[in-house]
Amino acid sequence: MSRAISLRQVSKSYTRGVSVVERLSLDVAPGEFLVLLGPSGCGKSTVLRMIAGLTDPTEGQIRLDGVYANHLEPADRDMAMIFQNFALYPTMNGRENIGFPLRIESPGQDPRSRVDATAKMLGIEDLLDRFPHQLSGGERQRVAMGRAIARHPSAFLMDEPLANLDAKLRNRLRAEIARLTRGLGVTTVYVTHDQAEAMSLGDRVAVLRGGVLQQVGTPRTVYALPENVFVAAFIGTPRISLLRGIVLAPLDGAMSIGLGRQALVLPEPLCLDHRLLRVHQGHEVIVGLRSEAVRIAKPAEARPGEVAISGLVEHVEFQGHEVLVHFNTGSQPAFVPDLEAPRPVPRPPRRRRPVGGVLGRLRDRAGALRAGPVVVLEDPGDAGQDGTELPPPDGRLPGDLIVRTTPDHELHHGMQVPLLVDLAHLFVFDHEGVRISPAPARLPDLED
């Protein structure tokens, strides 16, 4: 039987008021495969532990099948957890490891039939008589999965189960996990920092940042319609190109988005999304372009909805079936500095009427620990103490625009190349990193 899991305004704080999870509300339908995705330290595992009953929430409600469950012990929640470090008993062989929880739950019953059925399902019959030190990493994880499956739980909770495996083995076990969970129809909550795992496994993906839920939706939705810059930058390979721009909407000329030395001229008649950009006339925005949104071609070859720019080749990555080209277009990148960091960058102090005493200090600390802005629009050319320029905060290679193309193009460093941008795949975010084009589903009410 699958189980519905609901979190209602769940928060978790530790010493000194550090908020690890902040007012998280999330529903997992029976039989659904939900992935919690985010950088290391963003609160994913803490959410999983609260669902399992291993960690108590500071506030909020956890409901299982609609029933309040904050007080339930882990053993009473009928869930099975699969850990990153396998967590096998070293003195037990594979059969004993898989059967151990069955012997604890039903001391008078012989677990061999269920162990054998589970081993057959996973194809690990030949591993049952081996001890953990005799198994490879992938084999240990299969035994750990068998121990969870044999219990016939109502939900699987998986905490980065493939993180310690090599790339080829991860791909293989990822397919096995997808096949098993869908075949069993068991509710699954899967934690990972690997967006490739999240996109290939999840029915839905919930993106966390600093303990705050940024977006939840199908893999296709979070990729095609990211709600903010953080989601757009965290999901997608190669990482989306983010460029600082200014909306230019003169009364007697074509509307465009200035990108430093070049501009994206928006063709007439303007679509609804581009007409809405007039509100941001003269304001700084962030332009997001995925690698498939730009192609190498001359302006004369432009299709409807494509506009021409050019780029100087900075770096070429040969991938075999494709090539990733890093261009310098004369634009200034917008950086999301906490993509790989455990905690977001603290908010700059706000200028308010000073409040003295303990209350004022507590309020200032709480403000600094919230999720904060999702983008920092500052000059990236910070210099070190010796005067040398530091590398970009997110570790990018030189260039401000990455384009995916075929190996047919002969490109080399320093070559000036014509580019066509497909405006149908153009993202525009405001200066705080919130998506404004394509427009949100609910347009703001001017009377609000």
Q: Compute CA distances 244 → 18, 149, 271, 321, whole Å.
A: 33, 49, 22, 31
Q: How far is it, in rounded angstroms, from Cα 287 to Cα 333? A: 9
Q: How far is it, in rounded angstroms, from Cα 364 to Cα 359? A: 9
Extract the tokens encoding 18. 């550090």
First to last CA, the chain: 45
CA 237 to chain centre: 12
Higher pLDDT, 443 or 67: 67
pLDDT tier at 320, thresholds 50, 70, 90 = confident
3-state helix, strand, coil in the chain (%, to 5): 30, 30, 45
- Residue of 82, 98, 18 lying closest to 45 (CA atoms): 82
| Chain segment 235-291, per-residue pLDDT in tens | 998 999 999 999 998 888 889 999 988 999 999 888 888 988 988 999 999 999 999
| pTM for the full predicted model | 0.82
User: What's the burial of 274, exposed, middle or buried (CB within 10 Å: 0-12/13-18/19+)?
Assistant: buried
Q: How far is it, in rounded angstroms, from Cα 295 to Cα 284? A: 25
Q: How far is it, in rounded angstroms, from Cα 186 to Cα 31? A: 5
| Chain segment 70-112, per-residue pLDDT in tens | 999 998 999 999 888 878 889 999 999 999 988 888 888 888 8
Domain architecture of the chain: domains with CATH:
5-227 (3.40.50.300), 234-336+374-437 (2.40.50.140)
Residues 320-325: what's their mean pLDDT? Answer: 91
315 phi and psi angles, rounded to 5 deg: -160, 145
Q: Is the dihedral of CA 19, 23, 29, 33 positive or negative?
A: negative
| Chain segment 159-192, per-residue pLDDT in tens | 998 887 777 788 888 888 888 888 889 999 999 9
Extract the tokens encoding 320. 């075999």
| Chain segment 226-236, per-residue pLDDT in tens | 999 999 999 99
